[in-house]
A and B are shown apart, each in its own frame.
Chain A
């Protein structure tokens, strides 16, 4: 029976399912979300399974041939595809394996049984199918998820910031971690997380990806003051952004 609500489905690929868990947690404070949308597929949380959906949220990276087929199938069905979290948006932590030769990685884990397990370098889903929107972060921010859903329902552009984490950190009046002798990726990382890591005394790890036009010269000045080179900070960036850094290097070559 059609109740007029947009039908929404959740899918996951290589990931920890922490972003879907964050979606479930968003119901604690936004149970009325279910008045506005109908969730027809969400394997982690429900057995019901509908194949007729307009909006698909996809968590996780593409790491095998069979993932591509599933991704194309979802793209064919959905009007709107949203990359949910760093693994889908950036490749994220999964792409750390791309820093090692693939055969070495498989043998390291599965030894002489390596051939049993299919895998290739981890990619964001946007490398395989067209993505209409993304919700960054590892994990996603609960409130940002709700904001994006609202925007999608209203047909407006999802409000994802394109300024750095430092803006939010300053608004929270945190002491700059560089002044405490820590190395933080906040100056070039996309905001929207409310600077949660620096607010808890931990350096930004860059899980939301680089801002579109990072002020690299200002960043270099900050790093120089901290006695660091661009190479040193880039090695930190590999934690979540290996795929982007490798693509960029390939373009430059």
Chain B
């Protein structure tokens, strides 16, 4: 009978600290779970007392990878609370910068963190020798996405120029044209990426679950819209708690969530499952090539869905820049607003899935309560459910292979553990 003891303390090539614990005695599974052991950071507690103008700058520091996503969700909340109406130009620039972050995060995950598993390496570094073209492609696209964010916000990690009402800086038309030319060139890199990832031997595993994402009627949703699930539910963003139902679990500094089932999944695969028809035609073609026909129920393919989203964001960025240039890009002051006692919820579908920021402000615009619900937390229950179904199917394999597959499963979720342990408030309002 099988006896396995897998204890991966601090899984590598993920953002933050998490551990896999598996204990099998005589074929019976005693323990099988993913623990988040990241140090809690208590953002919701310490943003209390800070002025509205600082909130997006403080909360972007929850995560170095999805800093633009946190800043944008934070501004969505604050701007909704203060009744800000963004200009068309500012709205386009927010979307463009968000696309930059999606590409940046997905290229990091697919090439630097996931690809080594398939190419027999422990990291991207040995691949510089063995798969130099792929590494150079990744470096090139990573630089492009970082530069795209930088011309708009100053930098990708912790953007400077995002502010309530718009931006404190406007990119020049020449900068936009130059970056657009590089995006057009990147089509070849996208095609090569689709070919590469379509050729990988993805682990075979299916487990149907509920997929949760934002949805908009007129575009593939990343910023705002409504919350939808593949089980047919739909909620306004304000009702997010009906979806998330957070709870503490003793072995994790990340809280867990559930909705219609015991668990649900968020992220690129959930978005693709819910909003596939709104992807750019080139991205839909990429999805077909990668074998992604909704509903896709293999969680390992979340990384493949990220490749599809990179294609979409490259194409949509080219389109947005066309639109900006045809309108003419003008320096703009942030849109006006009135500070008053108020509250609101903002939501974005960031690289790892749907994210909520909920703030209450007093009459001076000082934050008195805050709640942030992070994609990685929402995926924790689902990841654990996957592990429990996957493990019995692979029990007869050597222990090293079991460990490796479980690590790959964790990595497929692209967990952002720093985010997850940014710390969430239990009771709100």
**Chain B binds chain A:** yes
Q: How far is the CB of B74 from chain A (nearest CB, A)?
A: 14
Closest to A93 in B: B61
Residues facing B in A74-114 (CB within 8 A) are 92-94, 96-97, 99-100, 104-106, 108-113
- B205 proximal to A (CB < 8 A): no
- A13 proximal to B (CB < 8 A): yes
Residues in A with CB closer than 8 Å to B154 are 196-197, 199-200, 202
A202/B163 in contact, CB under 8 A: yes
Q: How far is the CB of A188 from chain B (nearest CB, A)?
A: 18
Residues in A with CB closer than 8 Å to B112 are 24, 45
Residues in A with CB closer than 8 Å to B342 are none
A47/B44 in contact, CB under 8 A: no
Q: How far is the CB of B122 from chain A (nearest CB, A)?
A: 4
Say yes or no: A109-B12 contact (C-beta < 8 A), given A31-B139, A200-B153.
Answer: no
Residues facing A in B152-173 (CB within 8 A) are 153-155, 157-158, 160-161, 163, 167-169
B13/A16 in contact, CB under 8 A: no
- A63 proximal to B (CB < 8 A): yes
Say yes or no: A113-B63 contact (C-beta < 8 A), given A48-B122, A96-B58.
Answer: no
A111/B128 in contact, CB under 8 A: no
B426/A201 in contact, CB under 8 A: no
Residues facing B in A1-58 (CB within 8 A) are 12-22, 24-25, 27-29, 31, 34, 39, 42-49
Bound-state Cα–Cα, A200 to B50, Å: 22
Residues facing A in B385-428 (CB within 8 A) are 418, 423-427
- B285 proximal to A (CB < 8 A): no
The interface bits of chain B over 129-145 (1 if a CB of A lies within 8 angstroms of the residue's CB, else 0) are: 00000000001101100
A139/B158 in contact, CB under 8 A: yes
A21, A43, A46, A117: the one contacting B124 at CB < 8 Å is: A46
Say yes or no: A14-B64 contact (C-beta < 8 A), given A105-B46, A111-B427, A201-B168.
Answer: no
- A205 proximal to B (CB < 8 A): yes
A17, A108, A119: the one contacting B39 at CB < 8 Å is: A119
Q: How far is the CB of B141 from chain A (nearest CB, A)?
A: 10
Say yes or no: A97-B169 contact (C-beta < 8 A), given A109-B424, A197-B154.
Answer: no
A24, A92, A196: the one contacting B108 at CB < 8 Å is: A24
Bound-state Cα–Cα, A21 to B64, Å: 7
Residues in B with CB closer than 8 Å to A143 are none
Residues in B with CB closer than 8 Å to A119 are 39-40, 42
Q: How far is the CB of A62 from chain B (nearest CB, A)?
A: 9
B160/A197 in contact, CB under 8 A: yes
We find that the number of chain A residues with CB closer than 8 angstroms to chain B is 60
- A67 proximal to B (CB < 8 A): yes
A49/B42 in contact, CB under 8 A: no
- A239 proximal to B (CB < 8 A): yes
B63, B123, B155, B167: the one contacting A47 at CB < 8 Å is: B123
Residues in A with CB closer than 8 Å to B343 are none
Residues in B with CB closer than 8 Å to A94 are 41
B39/A64 in contact, CB under 8 A: yes
A47/B45 in contact, CB under 8 A: no
A18/B157 in contact, CB under 8 A: yes
Residues in B with CB closer than 8 Å to A113 are 248, 250, 426
Q: How far is the CB of A202 from chain B (nearest CB, A)?
A: 4
B157/A48 in contact, CB under 8 A: no
B46/A97 in contact, CB under 8 A: yes
Closest to B422 in A: A16
Say yes or no: A16-B63 contact (C-beta < 8 A), given A43-B10, A197-B160.
Answer: yes
We find that the number of chain B residues with CB closer than 8 angstroms to chain A is 62
B67, B160, B425: the one contacting A109 at CB < 8 Å is: B425
Residues in A with CB closer than 8 Å to B269 are none
Residues in A with CB closer than 8 Å to B65 are 17-18, 21
Residues in A with CB closer than 8 Å to B122 are 46-48
- B57 proximal to A (CB < 8 A): yes
B40/A109 in contact, CB under 8 A: yes
B13, B123, B158, B425: the one contacting A108 at CB < 8 Å is: B425
B40, B123, B169: the one contacting A117 at CB < 8 Å is: B40
Residues in B with CB closer than 8 Å to A239 are 54, 57-58
Q: How far is the CB of A52 from chain B (nearest CB, A)?
A: 16
Most buried by A among B10, B13, B62, B116: B13
B67/A18 in contact, CB under 8 A: yes
Bound-state Cα–Cα, A106 to B63, Å: 20
- A125 proximal to B (CB < 8 A): no
Q: How far is the CB of B190 from chain A (nearest CB, A)?
A: 18
Say yes or no: A100-B48 contact (C-beta < 8 A), given A197-B160, A202-B154.
Answer: yes
- B270 proximal to A (CB < 8 A): no
Bound-state Cα–Cα, A202 to B154, Å: 10
Bound-state Cα–Cα, A7 to B46, Å: 38
Say yes or no: A110-B423 contact (C-beta < 8 A), given A16-B64, A17-B418, A138-B61.
Answer: yes
B139/A28 in contact, CB under 8 A: yes
Q: How far is the CB of A61 from chain B (nearest CB, A)?
A: 8
Say yes or no: A19-B108 contact (C-beta < 8 A), given A47-B13, A99-B46.
Answer: no
Bound-state Cα–Cα, A34 to B125, Å: 9
Most buried by B among A16, A42, A92: A16
The interface bits of chain A over 128-153 (1 if a CB of B lies within 8 angstroms of the residue's CB, else 0) are: 00000000001100000000000000
A21/B13 in contact, CB under 8 A: no
- B15 proximal to A (CB < 8 A): yes
Bound-state Cα–Cα, A199 to B425, Å: 36
Bound-state Cα–Cα, A60 to B16, Å: 11
Residues in B with CB closer than 8 Å to A16 are 61-64, 67, 418
- List 15 A–B pairs whose Cβ atoms lie within 8 Å, in order of A's numbering: A13-B39, A15-B64, A19-B64, A31-B139, A43-B10, A46-B122, A60-B39, A93-B61, A94-B41, A108-B48, A111-B426, A111-B427, A116-B250, A139-B157, A200-B153
Q: A44-B13, A109-B44 are in contact. List 11 more A-B contacts (CB 8 A).
A: A18-B67, A47-B12, A92-B61, A97-B42, A110-B40, A113-B248, A119-B42, A139-B158, A201-B169, A202-B154, A202-B169
6 smallest CB-CB distances across A and B, nearest first, come from A18-B64, A46-B123, A201-B168, A111-B426, A200-B154, A47-B122
